[in-house]
Structure 1
Amino acid sequence: MLRVFKILFLFLIIPITLNAQSAQRDKISSFDIKFKKSDVILYWKVFNPVNVSYITIEVKYPGTNNFERIDKINSENFDRKSVKDSLKIYDYSYRRTVDNNGVYYFKITLFDGSNNEIETEELKTGITSINEFKLFQNSPNPFNPVTFITYKLFKSTQVSLKIYSMTGREVATLVDAVQPSGSYTVEFNSVNYPDLSSGIYFYKLQTETSSDIKKMILTK
């Protein structure tokens, strides 16, 4: 009688254990986000991804209402590392450059080989670390008589680009306008300013919230 009871007990326990292990497959166990300059890095873990064929990454940009798919990548192409063999938890990561500050929503979704959705997770985050622009060194430098000033705007903004002498006197206004995001190159021709002598000058890029100044050298 005791032997029959033991066999029956094992028969009842084994299916429960197998069902518990099966229930832990293809589960997102965490979802996090970190920033590096203008890059967003998504991190998440998946428990035992035996049925995951691919993963989609979606984003809802600031001021918009709908998610937009930004990538679809086969699961084996992600960076991943086994955390603990007995648990079969895998680390995943994905890196994306964003252009504007604001509130973003990111969503990851696991799909199987038949394109059926297995599980999805959504994360909301605020980004405030992105500069409005990047100002580059003029080229050539030193110059005579022409040089070019390049800058990149990461959002639409009011832009002022001016040239100053060593004493702080305003020499020229090259840009004074609202400009959309993008890269710009502006020519400065000293021939148009005959009173300029050889020496050090400064060019200043000013937007609605920040500014930057760089030095250039005119040689005659």
Structure 2
Amino acid sequence: MMKKIISIEKVSNGFIVTNGNLKRVYDSSPLEFELDQIHQMLYNSKEGDSHTIVIEVDPPVFTSQDNDSIELCGLLWDKDNISVGGTEKDGHHYFTWTEAMEAAEKQGKRLPTADEWKALCDLGSTWDEELRGRWFGGNHNTDHKGSIFLPALDYNRRATVPANHILGPCGFYWAFSRGDWHGYAHNLNFGCDIVNVNLGFTNNLFSVRCVRDIAK
């Protein structure tokens, strides 16, 4: 079980609910809000009430794959990168590590760990020159059945540096885990002839591919 700390405060124009780093304002009572995508609470607040609630909930899990995901290495992998938020360039979206973690959580998902990226790489992969990216797992070198495609989007730079550090063709995807050094986090990076799980500055702008856990 994991703990979620929810604070509810009565203010002049309604209610402020703080759930982790997320704050929402509601203008009526009773107050209903979402908890971890699949849990909901109903809280009736009286004028002037302010409460902090600690709730233990099971983490969200998913039991079947759908048209937007594929099962590999015991996880459900999204078939597409996150396409909202972050920094937009040429129709694609790039995130610092902190932004990536928050964007995945908002969708009720998470980033793959470094070990999960390595497990995906161990399934084998093939570079696709026409699509400019790599197919991982399944029939990655033939008809791509059971495979997942990660585009190499040629955009890798620190968020604080002008957009003059462009590499290509390369793909960079954040991992959940930080490195042992301050300011670094793990990521998958690949090109047409190499695949690595390495460390990068957390303020780099990388792509994001999410995963979901499958119920045991």
Interval of TM-score (by shorter of Structure 1 and Structure 2): under 0.3
- Bigger radius of gyration among the two: 1
| TM-score normalised by structure 2 residue count | 0.27
Normalized per residue, which structure has more strand?
1
| TM-score normalised by structure 1 residue count | 0.27
| Bigger relative contact order, structure 1 or 2 (CA pairs below 8 A, ≥6 apart) | 2
